[in-house]
Amino acid sequence: MKTEADVVIVGGGIMGLAIAYDLAKHHGQRNVVVLDQSYLCSGASGRNGGGVRAQWSSEDNVRLMRESVQICRDFAREHRINTWFRQGGYLFLARSDEKAKGLEESAKLQNECGLPTRMLTPSAARQVVPELSTEGVVAACYNPDDAVVFPWPFVWGYAEGARAHGVEVETFTTVTAIETTGGRVSAVVTDKGTIRTNIVVNAAGALSPEVARLVGVELPNHPHRHEICSSEPLKPWLEPLVADLSNGLYFSQSTRGEIVGGVSNHKVPSGADQRSSYRFLSLYSRALLQACPILGSVKILRQWAGLYDITPDSNPIVGKVDGLNGFFLSCGFMGHGFMMAPVIGKMMAKVIAGGPVPEVFERWNLRRFAQGSLLSEGMIIG
């Protein structure tokens, strides 16, 4: 392992690897080290449902994710790896007038940002998914450009791309300390040795508060276990990913035919607990059958859990940390860091390389929590 680096990135998920890749390829910063405590895809980047969408309720997220969807669409060609990118859209369901109004406002914003999102009546929603039960559904909205991918190739593609441009990716490496000198980071200490550096990026997802505490910084985000499961493969029939805003249900069909989905579950152990539970299966099966009764006899083959990275206002924490030069944050992405990483990695790399700080990074800065300048985002799933 290198003993000196221009940039050390803590976290070898898609966020950290995307930043490293863009730093090396587009900004010529090849003396970069990425550290991960386990194997690639061991964390949230390898444990999510692979949804990639531009349907959001805030303009920042809509515009960013419109670009991110495009990056994901072109990823297979750029990295020469099959991502199973399938652009079947996202269909959101609302079961109350309040949720329906929120969807209408979001759809209007998305149209202003150039998305072809349209509101649907329950009967029109069944034209998109004929097998859907619309009992209790007030309204729906649909953007055909949203997509579903297989997550692992994105992690592998960024990792191999970064390595090809000189980045060192160290797995099974634990960060034990981060040294500072004169108000600036100066080294990262690991169980394999010390790396001298002036720039550290905390891209450790739900574990980012632990990394931040190594330099005396307290973050307001925390891990929340989110479970997911996969069924036996079925013949292709489901085009979009279906999401129910009333209970956090979402489900889609993979290119191999499996029904992959999850649901909100607020009664989970605190901390970084990634065990599976029977409660999840109960909640998920009831919500899934309410939305799509035809799946009543489908067999569940696999169940697993990952960690959402929860912030108080459901928005990320990105950018420099006041009072500590060289320490950057890229965390707090709720359960949507995977889909945002391609565009955030591109923007963060430009900032680290000395470029201007984007306006959205200023809004997402850590200081907003101390100032009480909290943001909002209504289209959170799971």
DSSP3 helix / strand / coil % (the chain, rounded to 5): 35, 25, 40
Query: CATH says 85-147+223-308 is which class?
Result: alpha beta
Percent of the chain with pLDDT over 90: 97
Determine the pLDDT at residue 63. 96
In the chain, CATH 3.50.50.60 covers 7-46+152-221+313-371
CA atoms of 238 and 129, how far apart (whole Å): 7
Of 229, 343, 334, the closest CA to residue 288 belongs to 229
Q: Enumerate residues 6+ apart whose C-beta is below 8 A from 359.
A: none
pLDDT digits (tens, 9 = 90+) for 214-236: 999 999 999 999 999 999 999 99
The residues near 161 (Cβ < 8 Å, ≥ 6 apart) are 21, 25, 78, 79
pLDDT tens-digit readout, 10-19 = 999 999 999 9
Q: Are the beta carbons of 292 and 249 closer than 8 angstroms?
A: no
The torsion defined by the Cα of 342, 344, 348 and 351, in degrees rounded to 10, comes to: 120
pLDDT of amino acid 27: 97
The answer to whether the beta carbons of residues 14 and 341 sit under 8 Å apart is: yes
- For 129, the token pair is 């998914």
Residue among 227, 237, 287, 284 nearest 258 (CA): 237
Report the C-alpha gap between 190 and 178 in whole angstroms. 9
Nearest C-alpha neighbor of 212 from the set 320, 304, 133, 113: 320
| pLDDT at position 378 over 90 | no
pLDDT in tens, 260-300: 999 999 899 989 999 999 999 999 999 999 999 999 999 99
Q: How confident is the model at residue 379 (pLDDT cuts 50, 70, 90)?
A: confident
Rounded to an integer, what distance in angstroms lies between the CA atom of residue 88 and that of residue 147? 6
Topology of the domain covering 7-46+152-221+313-371: FAD/NAD(P)-binding domain (3.50.50)
* Structure confidence at residue 34 as a pLDDT band (50, 70, 90): very high
Are 97 and 258 contacting, i.e. CB atoms less than 8 angstroms apart?
Answer: no
Within the chain, which residue ranges are assigned CATH 3.30.9.10?
A: 85-147+223-308
Q: What is the pLDDT of residues 312-348, one digit of tens each?
A: 999 999 999 999 999 999 999 999 999 999 999 999 9
